């Protein structure tokens, strides 16, 4: 059975997409079969996997509206080693179109059920809002991976997400839980970041992943080459950290 995880945080620019593409590439590198689902109309995870969002014939939009299956709409990228269910601007319209439909929050879950045996991990890159798109992600997932920067308001920002997850758990998806918090863009030279990191561990214990993703310019450069950092420059510090994170996740997965 595939482990299905949302990469979510209601803040923009915290590293969701960077985490999704690099974790996908890292998991592929350690031998896992991975499907990346881009649920953000910006299509950054799609482009960052080397797939031109403007040239997608079928996308996650068609899957949500049940006019295509994941097998039909998924695009395999050999360079990155995983399959992408891509997104583009069209997806923004799905929000409105879904409102009319029955079981509108279960569309992705139903589509994933069909390809469950084909993958070890499904990673869903969520938009930075609680929309019908994010809700589809949360209803389909076993859990949420939360990338976060160790900044002053980090813990406060988490409260909203934790409440959302609790509500979805109570009403829509009894499986849903926080898989873990991933410290990203980390700079150990900044005392405040170390302090917040300690606070996180004190509050969330082993829900904080051991792997820490450093701030690393190679990770930021990679998308312009249409590659995850892990593929673009495997020896960069950030890439090494993401592969380590992938290993940690594989190790923890049986208990999730
Ligand atoms: P989100 O998907 O949450 O909006 P992104 O993954 O797009 O966030 O990241 C926001 C910006 O930060 C991007 O420009 C990205 O390249 C950069 N970035 C993300 N993680 C790192 C990192 N570890 N080191 C350096 N830059 C990073
Ligand atoms: Mg993003």
**What local confidence, expressed as pLDDT, does residue 149 receive?**
95
Q: Which domain holds residue 42?
A: 3-255
Ligand 1 atom closest to the Cα of residue 19 is 6
Band the pLDDT of 239: cuts 50, 70, 90.
very high
Closest Cα partner for 11 from 152, 140, 186, 160? 160
91 Cα to the center of ligand 1, angstroms:
22
| Residue 3 and residue 255 in contact, taking contact as beta carbons nearer than 8 Å | no
Overall average pLDDT of the 211-231 stretch: 98
| Alpha carbon of residue 251 to chain centroid | 18
Rounded mean pLDDT, 121-149 = 95
pLDDT at 96: 87
Q: What is the mean pLDDT of residues 189-204?
A: 93
Q: Quick one: which atom of ligand 1 is closest to the CA of 238? A: 23
Tally of domains in the chain: 1
Tens digits of per-residue pLDDT, 21-72?
999 999 999 999 999 999 999 999 999 999 999 999 999 999 999 999 999 9
Residues with Cβ within 6 A of ligand 1?
A: 12-18, 44, 128, 184-185, 213, 215-216, 219-220, 238
Gap from CA of 251 to ligand 2 centroid (Å): 26
Pocket perturbation via mutation, ligand 1, pick of 6, 13, 145 by most ligand atoms within 8 A of CB: 13
**Ligand 1 atom closest to Cα of residue 214:** 23
236 near 216, Cβ under 8 Å? yes
Longest dimension (CA), the chain: 51
Name the residue with higher pLDDT: 5 or 98.
5
Distances (CA, A) of 234 to 28, 46, 49: 13, 20, 15
Residue nearest to atom 13 of ligand 1 (CA): 220
What is the side-by-side strand order in the sheet with 178-186? 75-77, 82-85, 34-38, 121-125, 3-7, 143-148, 178-186, 208-214
Residue minimizing CA distance to atom 6 of ligand 1: 15
Instruction: Please identify, by atom number, the ligand 1 atom nearest to the C-alpha of residue 125.
Output: 2
State the chain's mean pLDDT as an integer. Answer: 95
- What pLDDT score does 166 carry? 95
Quick check: 209 pLDDT over 90? yes
Q: What's the whole-number mean pLDDT along residues 206-215?
A: 97
> Does the pLDDT value for residue 130 go beyond 90?
no
Nearest ligand to the CA atom of 45: 2
Q: Which band of pLDDT confidence, cut at 50, 70 and 90, is reported for residue 101?
A: confident
Alpha-carbon separation of residue 231 from 149, 221, 247 (angstroms): 23, 12, 16
Return the bridge partners of 212, or none: 183
What's the gap in Å between 49 CA and the centre of ligand 1?
14
Q: Please tell me the distance between residue 14's alpha carbon and the centre of ligand 2 in angstroms.
A: 8
pLDDT at 207: 95
Task: Give, in order, the Cα–Cα distances in Å from 107 to each of 1, 20, 113, 232.
Answer: 19, 21, 10, 34
pTM (global) more than 0.85: yes
Cβ neighbours around 95 below 10 Å, total: 15
Check which CATH number belongs to the domain holding 181 and give it: 3.40.50.300
Minimum CA distance residue for ligand 1 atom 9: 15
């Amino acid at each position: 059975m595939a482990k299905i995880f949302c990469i979510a945080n209601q803040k923009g620019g915290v590293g969701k997409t960077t985490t999704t593409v690099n974790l996908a590439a890292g998991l592929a590198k350690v031998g896992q079969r991975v499907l990346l689902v881009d649920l953000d109309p910006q299509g950054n995870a799609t482009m960052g996997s080397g797939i031109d969002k403007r040239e997608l014939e079928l996308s996650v939009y068609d899957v949500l509206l049940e006019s295509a299956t994941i097998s039909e709409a998924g695009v395999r990228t050999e360079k990155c080693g995983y399959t992408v269910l891509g997104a583009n601007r069209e997806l923004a319209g799905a929000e409105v179109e879904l409102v009319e439909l029955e079981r509108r929050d279960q569309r992705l879950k139903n589509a994933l059920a069909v390809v469950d045996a084909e993958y070890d991990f499904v990673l869903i890159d969520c938009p930075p809002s609680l929309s019908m798109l994010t809700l589809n992600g949360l209803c389909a997932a076993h859990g949420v991976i939360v990338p976060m920067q160790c900044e002053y308001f980090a813990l406060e920002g988490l409260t909203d997400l934790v409440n959302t997850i609790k509500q979805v758990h109570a009403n829509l998806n009894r499986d849903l839980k926080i898989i873990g918090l991933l410290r990203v863009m980390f700079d150990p030279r900044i005392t405040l970041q170390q302090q917040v990191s300690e606070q996180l561990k004190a509050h969330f214990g082993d829900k904080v992943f051991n792997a820490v993703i450093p701030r690393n310019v190679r990770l930021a450069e990679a998308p312009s080459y249409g590659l995850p950092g892990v593929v673009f420059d495997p020896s960069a510090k950030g890439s090494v950290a993401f592969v380590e994170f992938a290993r940690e996740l594989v190790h923890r997965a049986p208990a999730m």
